[in-house]
Amino acid sequence: MNTPRSIREIFGFFFFLGRRTGKTRVFALLGLIPVVLAVVVRIVLHGRSGDIAAVFTEILMVFFLQFYIVILALFYGTSVTAEEVENRTLSYLITRPLPKPAIILGKYAAYALLMFAMVAVSLTLSFFVMNAARLREPALYLTFLSYLGVLGLGILAYTAFFTFLGTVLKRAILVGLVFGFGWENVIQYFPGSTQRFSIVHYLKSLLPYRPAPGGGGKGVALLLFRLEPTSTLLAVLALIGIGAAFLALACWLFRMKEYLYEE
Amino acid sequence: MTAVIAASNLSKWYGNVLGLNDVSLEVEEGITGLLGPNGAGKSTFMKLITGQMKPNIGTVTVRGQKVWNNPEVFSGIGFCPENDVFYEDVTGWEFLTGLLRFYGYAPAEIRERAARALDIVDLAKDKDRLIRGYSRGMRQRVKVAQAIAHDPEIVILDEPLSGLDPLGKRKLIKLIKDFKSEGRTVLVSSHVLPEIEALTSRIVLVHQGKILAQGDIPYIRELIEAHPHQISVRSSDPRALAARFLGDRSIQKMTFAADGRTLVVETHKRDDFFGRLTGVVLEDGIEVEEISSPDDNLQAVFEYLVGK
Nearest neighbour of A17 by CB, restricted to B14, B75, B87: B87
Cβ–Cβ contact A97 with B under 8 A: yes
Q: Are A106 and A16 in contact (CB under 8 A)?
A: no
Note whether B101 contacts A17, CB cutoff 8 Å: no
- Decide: pTM greater than 0.90: no
Q: Nearest-CA neighbor of A11 among A105, A78, A91? A: A105
Q: Are A246 and A164 in contact (CB under 8 A)?
A: yes
User: Considering B203, B223, B243, which residue would you say is the last residue of a domain?
Assistant: B223
Q: Nearest-CA neighbor of A123 among A147, A159, A156, A158? A: A147
Q: Does residue A217 have a pLDDT over 50? A: no
Mean pLDDT, chain A, integer:
88
* DSSP H or E run through B254: strand B251-256
Which of B14, B47, B87 to mutate: most A Cβ within 10 Å?
Answer: B87
Cβ–Cβ contact B87 with A under 8 A: yes
Whether residue B202 is found in the same domain as residue B239: no
Note whether A96 contacts B69, CB cutoff 8 Å: no
C-alpha A213/C-alpha A236 separation (Å) is 24
C-alpha A16/C-alpha A12 separation (Å) is 6
Whether residue B40 is found in the same domain as residue B108: yes
Give A221's pLDDT tier (boundaries 50, 70, 90). low
Q: Does residue A44 have a pLDDT over 70? A: yes
Nearest neighbour of A88 by CB, restricted to B83, B98, B101: B83
Separation in Å, CA of B225 to nearest CA in chain A: 37
- Percentage of chain B beyond pLDDT 90 is 50
Whether residue B204 is found in the same domain as residue B155: yes
Which is more confident, B171 or A97? A97
* DSSP H or E run through B267: strand B262-267
3-state helix vs strand vs coil in chain B, percent to 5? 40, 30, 30
Using CA atoms, how far residue B178 sits from A23, A146, B145, B202, in Å, is: 42, 61, 14, 16
Whether residue B269 is found in the same domain as residue B185: no
Concatenated DSSP letters for chain A?
Answer: --HHHHHHHHHHHHHHHHHHSHHHHHHHHHTHHHHHHHHHHHHHTTT-HHHHHHHIIIIIHHHIIIIIHHHHHHHHHHHHHHHHHHTT-HHHHHTSS--HHHHHHHHHHHHHHHHHHHHHHHHHHHHHHHTGGGTT-HHHHHHHHHHHHHHHHHHHHHHHHHHHHHHH-SSHHHHHHHIIIIIHHHHTTSSGGGGGGSHHHHHHHT-S--PPTTTT-STT-TTTTT--PPPHHHHHHHHHHHHHHHHHHHHHHHHH-------
In sequence order, the 6+-apart residues with CB closer than 8 A to the CB of B170 are none
Cβ–Cβ contact A20 with B under 8 A: yes
**Taken in order B186, B191, B196, B201, is the CA torsion positive or negative?**
positive
Q: What's the confidence (pLDDT) of residue B248?
A: 85
Note whether A94 contacts B53, CB cutoff 8 Å: no
**Rg, Å, chain A Cα set:** 19
Q: Are A57 and A209 in contact (CB under 8 A)?
A: yes
B155: closest chain A residue by CA: A95
Q: Nearest-CA neighbor of A143 among A225, A61, A86? A: A61
Whether residue B134 is found in the same domain as residue B122: yes
Give A60's pLDDT tier (boundaries 50, 70, 90). confident
Q: What's the confidence (pLDDT) of residue B287?
A: 86
Whether residue B291 is found in the same domain as residue B196: no
CATH value at residue B297:
3.30.70.100
Note whether A95 contacts B83, CB cutoff 8 Å: no
Q: Are A62 and A33 in contact (CB under 8 A)?
A: no
A94 contacts in chain B (CB < 8 Å) = 51-52
For residue B213, what are the β-bridge partners?
A: B205
Q: What's the confidence (pLDDT) of residue A81?
A: 95
C-alpha B43/C-alpha B160 separation (Å) is 12
Note whether A97 contacts B89, CB cutoff 8 Å: no
Whether residue B219 is found in the same domain as residue B230: no
Note whether A13 contacts B101, CB cutoff 8 Å: yes
- Domain membership of residue B256 as a residue range: 225-305
Mean pLDDT, chain B, integer:
88
Q: Name the residue type at position B112.
A: E
Separation in Å, CA of A248 to nearest CA in chain B: 17
C-alpha A223/C-alpha A213 separation (Å) is 15
DSSP symbol at B298: H
Q: Are B190 and B205 in contact (CB under 8 A)?
A: no
Cβ–Cβ contact B79 with A under 8 A: yes
Whether residue B158 is found in the same domain as residue B275: no
C-alpha A186/C-alpha B245 separation (Å) is 85
User: Considering B179, B204, B223, which residue would you say is the last residue of a domain?
Assistant: B223
A93 contacts in chain B (CB < 8 Å) = 102
Q: What's the confidence (pLDDT) of residue A218?
A: 47
Overall number of domains in chain B: 2
Crossing angle (nearest 10°) for helices A3-20 and B92-100? 160
Whether residue B254 is found in the same domain as residue B187: no
C-alpha B265/C-alpha B270 separation (Å) is 10
Class of residue B306 by CB neighbours under 10 A (exposed 0-12, middle 13-18, buried 19+): middle
Q: Nearest-CA neighbor of B122 among B104, B135, B107? A: B135
β-strand pairing of B77-80 with B251-256: unpaired
Whether residue B136 is found in the same domain as residue B245: no
Class of residue B246 by CB neighbours under 10 A (exposed 0-12, middle 13-18, buried 19+): exposed
What are the tens digits of pLDDT across the range B204-224? 988 889 998 888 776 765 665
Q: Nearest-CA neighbor of B23 among B36, B40, B35, B11? A: B11
β-strand pairing of B30-35 with B202-207: parallel
Q: Name the residue type at position B154.
A: I
B74 contacts in chain A (CB < 8 Å) = 95-98
Using CA atoms, how far residue A139 sits from A64, A143, A144, A146, A233, in Å, is: 21, 6, 9, 11, 21
Size of chain B in residues: 308
Residue B184, SS3 per DSSP: coil
Cβ–Cβ contact A98 with B under 8 A: yes
Q: Are B244 and B267 in contact (CB under 8 A)?
A: no
C-alpha A28/C-alpha A72 separation (Å) is 10
C-alpha B218/C-alpha B122 separation (Å) is 34
Whether residue B229 is found in the same domain as residue B215: no
What are the tens digits of pLDDT across the range A98-143? 999 999 999 999 999 999 999 999 999 998 888 887 888 888 899 8
Which is more confident, A81 or B166? A81
Q: How large is the ipTM? A: 0.85
Separation in Å, CA of B81 to nearest CA in chain A: 7
C-alpha A117/C-alpha B21 separation (Å) is 50
Note whether B51 contacts A95, CB cutoff 8 Å: yes
What are the tens digits of pLDDT across the range B264-303? 998 877 778 888 888 888 888 888 888 877 665 556 666 6
User: Considering B180, B198, B223, which residue would you say is the last residue of a domain?
Assistant: B223
CATH value at residue B195:
3.40.50.300
Note whether B14 contacts A87, CB cutoff 8 Å: no
Q: What's the confidence (pLDDT) of residue B227?
A: 67
A255 contacts in chain B (CB < 8 Å) = 69
Whether residue B111 is found in the same domain as residue B53: yes
In sequence order, the 6+-apart residues with CB closer than 8 A to the CB of A71 are A27, A30, A180
DSSP symbol at B74: G
A13 contacts in chain B (CB < 8 Å) = 98-99, 101-102
A20 contacts in chain B (CB < 8 Å) = 89-90
What are the tens digits of pLDDT across the range B61-109? 999 999 999 999 999 999 999 999 999 889 999 999 999 999 999 999 9
What are the tens digits of pLDDT across the range B167-216? 888 888 998 999 888 889 999 999 887 788 889 888 898 888 999 888 87
